[in-house]
Amino acid sequence: MLNKLDYSYNDEISIIHRINPVIKLFGLFIYVLICLLKYNNYLFIANLSFIFLLMLLSNVNILRNFKLVWKFKFIILIMYVVMYHYQMSIADINIIVFKFIFFLVYLSVIYYTTTKEEIGIGLSKIVNIFNLIGIDLRKIASFFTNIITSVICFFDTLGDTLISGEIKGNVYTHSNIIDKYKLYVRYFKKVYKSSKDKMKKRKNDMKYKLYNDNIKKRYKYGKKLGIYDYLFILINIGFIVFYILKVR
């Protein structure tokens, strides 16, 4: 189930579906900010519990929310190897990895409970706010979006290539670690070229699509803030207040 990645919007009725997309993105920003600040056990556990609660309230299968994490399993493995190489403690390594994993889960919750149109409008509103103070986020946002999409596209293409190789007799699943490594090296050039071509096509189709100033004219958007939006905001502000009073 985890191998088949599905990024489609989950059309359900839930509390998380009702929350304004701008508020959801605001919550993601607060989570990233807290991850970058000084570590605190209580704040860390509270954040992970909050994200887990979002999963439960979204009416989306929990395993589905971890599909994106599964796609990044090799990146997570590399993170462990690199940090262990620099002699970081196991506790610190696990904390950093868990922060990254739940960042991906948070992204999944937003994507499964928000339509592409709503995400586009939400991002457009956030970008417009920064534009008012002279900061152009369009290129920055597009840059990081392309990086994440490139990684996903690469591993999708790698998976298709390995399946094609198995049909030809190169049974990847039954190989040992050394044989798997050799297979990755052999396929890397082919996979890289194929995924690069896909990204070029995507860039032509979607360049700055979500950051267009006229996006409000193309999509009808009428979500107003409700009780769940204000509760969501209060919880995230509570995280910041706790950090200022107890951690900083």
Quick check: 3 pLDDT over 50? no
pLDDT digits (tens, 9 = 90+) for 29-83: 999 999 998 899 999 999 999 999 999 999 888 888 888 788 788 889 999 999 9
**If we measure between CA atoms, which residue out of 38, 53, 113, 18 comes closest to residue 235?**
53
Cα separation, 115 vs 112, whole angstroms: 8
- Classify the phi-psi angles of 109: left when phi > 0, otherwise alpha if psi is within -120 to 50, otherwise beta: alpha
DSSP secondary structure letters along the chain? -TTS----------HHHHS-HHHHHHHHHHHHHHHHS---HHHHHHHHHHHHHHHHHTTS-HHHHTHHHHHTHHHHHHHHHHHHHTT--HHHHHHHHHHHHHHHHHHHHHHHHS-HHHHHHHHHHHHHHHHHTT---HHHHHHHHHHHHHHHHHHHHHHHHHHHHHHTT--STT--HHHHHHHHHHHHHHHHHHHHHHHHHHHHHHTTGGG-TTHHHHS---PPP-HHHHHHHHHHHHHHHHIIIII-
210 confidence band (pLDDT: 50, 70, 90): very low
Contact 22, 122 (CB under 8 A): yes
CA dihedral 153, 156, 158, 161 (to 10 degrees): -120
pLDDT digits (tens, 9 = 90+) for 80-137: 999 988 889 999 999 999 999 999 999 889 888 888 777 777 777 776 666 655 555 5
How high is the pLDDT of residue 149?
Answer: 66
Quick check: 205 pLDDT over 50? yes
Contact 27, 230 (CB under 8 A): no
Quick check: 243 pLDDT over 70? yes
How high is the pLDDT of residue 162?
Answer: 67
pLDDT digits (tens, 9 = 90+) for 140-190: 666 666 666 676 677 677 667 767 766 666 655 555 667 666 666 776 777
The residues spanned by each domain of the chain are: 1-7+16-114+221-248, 135-213
**C-alpha neighbours within 13 Å on the C-beta side of residue 199:** 21
pLDDT digits (tens, 9 = 90+) for 221-241: 445 788 999 999 999 999 999
In angstroms, what is the C-alpha Rg of the chain?
20
